[in-house]
């Protein structure tokens, strides 16, 4: 919304099954994190769009902030001189698509990218197809040999002027050598439930061989590790003899206690729980059982099983019993493997801590491209200086750690940032090198001053330990802490709406806020400002400003919902990036409504409003409609005796920033049959 002059107000409300069919001010259920553009774990390509002047070739997009991020199923935009759906421009833009391609059959695959203007394709971070430069609708292809499994895909293109189009396709064994538009699959951040089964075909000896570094001939997911003892080939296997198998997964424990694990196999097998060697059933033997007892805490635990078969019968079963199974033997079912492997994994509260075990030198080494030995979330970086192992770490020496997260700043100003470590460490804020505490040294402090605006800021810290004592502390002080040193706690600021205020001269309609830098950013619980001629709490102006609210609303019951925004001056509402309500223009306290069918789950919300002059007020609410069998719309009231031909007065009660109740009451139709 925007406000040019006169009165100004804004209200965003809804009603439906979740609210007992009463108008309620919308509370965002997910604005702790940054208004996240796309879920990394879901199927599809992550599409990032950048608006800036283009030249004659694809420019480096690393470090640039995208103006729009969303999920798309395929990269297939027809060649046109109009704007692509959802895009703000038709010229002078660049796009990056990233995703995962799942290959089921080993073989050579041909990839083709057709674009206008230039484009480039990377498979598994290797430059594969070059279609760069200024040209029309042109095709370029490349051939790559791919094994079964998931493969990282990255595609970049730019458009300077004229027509614009983009299509990515491939053909090979999986497509029966027919061209097919590529569809991205789920990424590896959260692999689905089940064990990952990797099969290796090679000559076997008398014991389990080391499978590390070997390439699997087949990889798939199985629900359980349970193959009955037989002299035939297991289902889906190419051999009945001379093969080895590795299963990896996660076992979720709900009740802490003693658990007994058993592996029955023919031939040998081994079991690891949380990377600890637990059961040895190795060697050449028949259908034999081996057991072990392990105390497990509540939560997820990593499971790895390996076995081999040289000849004769082959069978394998993994089972356990304990408090979760009422002490009855049960075949283990994996609950999936969570891996925090993405470079830009900033979602949720806490720091993402990645630990790397390798020999250290005298300075912090480059960790890019290395695979972490352990990844988890921690609330803060505060490890006391000790010569013992840190909690959860496997080593006390020769390791490196990287922490990444978001730091939410509520008050703009100068902040002191400090890292105290033994041995060396480094700090980056918003991808800019900020503090250098590198080298071999004892418990040493290094600080830097940085001006931070209100909002979220990226934090990255790296440290290494070669030997002796090890410790690490990350702290800061500034306007948010009352200029007192405080250990940084990563988080996204609690649930609510992300509110951004823009101060500039307003006209007669909502102005485009994309690309503008907000003068103020904060998190609020509801959008409910009473109609007033004064300034809203926390705002620097009462006229000539615009506001954007972004958040997520959780719907628990599927159905038709009526949304209403009441504002002075104009306002607009988007749900799931679709324009839903238009209450734009210069006007007084006016209501506009729309009906939208919503599935159960989380939905993205965006509200914009402007105020040019006079009073200001804004409120948001919704209503739920369900189509009955007689073909008439019926409003479901919370109380049975409330369903009648009536008009009820419903006070919209929500606390404003000063803690007082607004004096506004709004007339709303609650039930009309």
Beta bridge partners of 283: none
CB 348 within 8 A of CB 490: no
Domain-wise residue ranges, the chain: 2-31+497-671, 45-181, 195-331, 351-487
Question: Of 502 and 650, which is predicted with more confidence?
Answer: 502
pLDDT at 347 over 70: no
Q: Return the CATH number of the domain spanning residue range 195-331.
A: 2.60.120.260
Please compute the mean of the pLDDT values over residues 436-444 and round it to a whole number. Answer: 93
Q: What's the whole-number mean pLDDT along residues 310-317?
A: 93
Q: What SS3 state is found at 609?
A: strand
**C-alpha–C-alpha distance, residues 490 and 544, integer Å:** 35
pLDDT of residue 490: 57
Question: What is d(CA 564, CA 643) in angstroms, rounded to the nearest whole number?
Answer: 21
Q: 522 vs 390, which has greater pLDDT?
A: 390
Which tokens belong to 432?
């800019």
**% of the chain surpassing 90 pLDDT:** 48
Phi and psi dihedrals of 175, rounded to 5? -105, 10
Checking if the pLDDT of 293 tops 50, the result is yes
Q: What is the pLDDT of residue 628?
A: 29
Give yes or no for a contact between 166 and 158, defined as CB atoms under 8 angstroms apart.
no
* SS3 at position 259: strand
DSSP labels, 491-517 = ---SSSEEEEEEES---SSPPP-TTPP
Instruction: Say if residues 550 and 35 touch (Cβ distance below 8 Å).
Output: yes
- Upstream peptide bond of 123 is cis (omega within 30 degrees of 0): no
149 contacts 104 by C-beta, under 8 angstroms:
no
Q: Where are the beta strands (DSSP E) in 368-514?
A: 374-378, 382-386, 399-409, 413-422, 425-429, 432-437, 444-452, 455-465, 470-477, 486-487, 497-503
Most confident of 43-52, 489-498, 516-525: 43-52
Closest C-alpha among 631, 630, 626, 629 to residue 671: 626
What CA–CA distance (Å, rounded) separates 96 from 576?
21
Please check the confidence at residue 650 and state whether its pLDDT lies above 60. Answer: no
195-331 with 351-487: one CATH topology? yes
Residue 454 near residue 425 (C-beta atoms within 8 A) = no
What are the tens digits of pLDDT across the range 549-575? 888 888 878 888 888 898 888 999 999
Tell me the percentage of the chain whose pLDDT exceeds 70: 84
The mean pLDDT value for 574-580 works out to 92
Separation CA 622–CA 18 (nearest Å):
10
Longest dimension (CA), the chain: 88
pLDDT of res. 281: 94
For 153-209, write each residue's pLDDT tens digit. Answer: 999 999 999 999 999 999 998 898 999 988 876 544 344 568 899 999 999 999 999
Looking at residue 670, its pLDDT comes to 27
Q: Which of 7-21, 100-114, 395-409 has the lowest mean pLDDT?
A: 7-21
| Exposure string for 394-403, b = 16+ CB within 10 A, e = fewer | eebbebbbbb
Among 48, 45, 100, 102, CA closest to 75: 45
Burial of 567 (0-12, 13-18, 19+ CB in 10 A): buried
How do strand 7-15 and strand 615-627 relate by DSSP bridges? parallel
For residue 49, give the nearest of 33, 40, 38 by alpha carbon: 38
Query: pLDDT-derived band of residue 652, with 50, 70 and 90 as boundaries?
Result: very low
Q: Give the residue among 615, 669, 646, 516 at the shortest CA–CA distance from 11.
A: 615
Class for the domain spanning 45-181: mainly beta
> Is the alpha carbon torsion for 532, 535, 538, 544 positive or negative?
positive
Confidence label for 147 from pLDDT (cuts 50, 70 and 90): confident
Residue 512 reports pLDDT greater than 70: yes
pLDDT at residue 260 is higher than 80: yes
d(CA 534, CA 550): 24
CA distance 539 to 532: 13
pLDDT at 4: 81
Confidence of residue 607 (pLDDT cuts 50, 70, 90): very high
Say what the pLDDT of residue 618 is.
63
306 or 28: whose pLDDT is higher?
A: 306
> Given this model, what pLDDT does residue 319 score?
92
Residue among 541, 663, 652 nearest 11 (CA): 652
| Residue 69 and residue 49 in contact, taking contact as beta carbons nearer than 8 Å | yes
Judge: domain 351-487, CATH 3.30.1600.10: no
Report the helix count and the strand count for the chain, using DSSP H and E: 0, 49
Q: Interior CA angle at 304 toward 299 and 307, to 5°?
A: 155
Nearest by Cα to 525 from 36, 25, 33: 25
| Range 384-402 average pLDDT | 92
Q: How many residues does the chain have?
A: 673
Q: What is the pLDDT of residue 666?
A: 31
3-state secondary structure of 146: strand
pTM higher than the cut 0.85: no
Please say whether the beta carbons of 533 and 614 come within 8 A: yes
The token pair that represents 581 in the structure block? 């309500």
Q: How confident is the model at residue 261 (pLDDT cuts 50, 70, 90)?
A: very high
Write down the pLDDT at residue 42: 56
pLDDT at 12: 82
Q: What is the pLDDT of residue 193?
A: 65
Dist. CA 373–CA 357, nearest whole Å? 7
Question: What pLDDT, on the 0 to 100 scale, is given for residue 537?
Answer: 79
Q: Report residue 234 as tokens.
A: 């297991």
DSSP state of 173: G
- Structure confidence at residue 94 (pLDDT): 94
Confidence of residue 524 (pLDDT cuts 50, 70, 90): confident
- According to the CATH classification, is domain 2-31+497-671 in 2.60.120.380? yes
Give me the mean pLDDT over the 252-277 stretch: 92
Indicate the average pLDDT of the chain: 82
For 6: left if phi > 0, alpha if psi spans -120 to 50, otherwise beta; the answer is left
Determine the Cα–Cα distance for residues 138 and 219; give it in Å rounded to an integer. Answer: 36
pLDDT at 32 over 70: no
Residue 669 has pLDDT above 60, yes or no: no
Task: Give kind and range of the element (H or E) at residue 603.
Answer: strand 601-612
What DSSP letter does each residue of 44-99 carry, written as one string? SEEEEEEES---SSPPP-TTPPPSEEEEESB-EEEEESSPPTT-S-SSSEEEEEEE
């Amino acid at each position: 919304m925007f406000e040019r002059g006169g009165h100004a107000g804004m209200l965003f409300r809804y009603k439906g099954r979740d609210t007992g069919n009463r108008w309620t001010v919308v509370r965002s259920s997910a604005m702790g994190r940054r208004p996240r553009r796309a879920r990394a774990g879901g199927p599809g390509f992550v599409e990032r769009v950048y608006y800036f002047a283009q030249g004659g070739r694809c420019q480096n997009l690393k470090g640039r902030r995208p103006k729009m991020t969303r999920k798309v199923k395929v990269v297939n935009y027809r060649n046109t001189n109009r704007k692509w759906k959802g895009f703000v421009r038709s010229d002078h833009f660049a796009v990056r698509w990233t995703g995962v391609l799942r290959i089921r059959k080993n073989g050579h695959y041909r990839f083709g990218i057709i674009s206008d203007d230039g484009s480039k394709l990377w498979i598994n971070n290797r430059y594969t197809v070059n279609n760069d430069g200024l040209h029309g609708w042109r095709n370029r292809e490349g051939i790559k040999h791919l094994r079964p499994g998931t493969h990282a895909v990255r595609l970049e293109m730019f458009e300077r002027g004229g027509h614009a189009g983009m299509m990515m396709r491939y053909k090979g064994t999986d497509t029966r050598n027919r061209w097919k538009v590529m569809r991205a699959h789920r990424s590896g951040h959260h692999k689905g439930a089940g064990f990952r089964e990797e099969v290796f075909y090679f000559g076997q000896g008398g014991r389990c061989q080391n499978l590390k570094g070997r390439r699997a001939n087949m990889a798939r997911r199985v629900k359980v590790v349970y193959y009955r003892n037989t002299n035939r080939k297991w289902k889906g296997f190419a051999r009945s003899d001379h093969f080895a198998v590795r299963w990896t997964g996660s076992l979720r424990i709900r009740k802490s206690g003693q658990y007994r694990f058993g592996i029955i196999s023919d031939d040998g097998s081994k079991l690891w729980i949380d990377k600890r060697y637990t059961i040895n059933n190795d060697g050449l033997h028949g259908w034999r059982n081996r057991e072990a007892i392990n105390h497990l805490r509540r939560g997820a635990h990593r499971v790895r099983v390996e076995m081999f078969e040289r000849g004769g019968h082959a069978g394998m079963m993994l089972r356990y019993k304990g408090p979760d199974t009422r002490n009855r033997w049960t075949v283990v079912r994996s609950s999936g493997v969570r891996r925090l492997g993405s470079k830009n994994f900033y979602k949720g509260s806490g720091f993402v801590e990645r630990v790397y075990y390798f020999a250290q030198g005298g300075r912090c080494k480059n960790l890019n491209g290395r695979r972490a030995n352990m990844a988890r979330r921690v609330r803060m970086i505060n490890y006391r200086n000790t010569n013992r192992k840190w909690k959860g770490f496997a080593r006390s020496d020769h390791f490196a750690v990287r922490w990444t997260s978001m730091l939410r700043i509520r008050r703009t100003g100068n902040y002191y940032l400090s890292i105290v470590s033994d041995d060396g460490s480094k700090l980056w804020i918003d991808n800019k090198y900020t503090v250098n505490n590198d080298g071999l040294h004892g418990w040493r402090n290094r600080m830097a001053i940085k001006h931070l605006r209100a909002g979220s800021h990226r934090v990255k810290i790296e440290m290494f330990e070669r030997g002796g004592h090890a410790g690490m502390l990350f702290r800061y002080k500034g306007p948010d802490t009352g200029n007192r040193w405080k250990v940084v706690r990563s988080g996204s600021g609690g649930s609510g709406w992300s509110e951004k205020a823009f101060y500039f001269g307003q006209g007669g309609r909502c102005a485009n806020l994309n690309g503008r830098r907000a003068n103020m950013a904060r998190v609020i619980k509801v959008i409910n400002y009473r109609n007033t001629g004064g300034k809203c709490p926390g705002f620097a102006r009462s006229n000539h400003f615009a506001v954007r609210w972004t958040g997520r609303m959780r719907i628990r019951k599927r159905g038709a919902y009526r949304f209403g925004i009441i504002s002075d001056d104009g306002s607009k509402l988007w749900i799931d990036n679709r324009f839903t309500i238009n209450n734009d223009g210069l006007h007084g306290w006016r209501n506009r409504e729309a009906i939208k069918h919503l599935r159960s789950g989380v939905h993205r919300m965006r509200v914009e409003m402007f105020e040019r002059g006079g009073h200001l007020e804004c409120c948001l609410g919704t209503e739920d409609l369900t189509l009955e069998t007689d073909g008439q719309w019926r409003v479901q009231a919370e109380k049975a005796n409330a369903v009648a031909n009536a008009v009820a007065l419903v006070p919209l009660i929500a606390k404003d920033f000063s803690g007082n109740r607004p004096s506004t009451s709004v007339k709303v139709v609650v039930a009309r049959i």
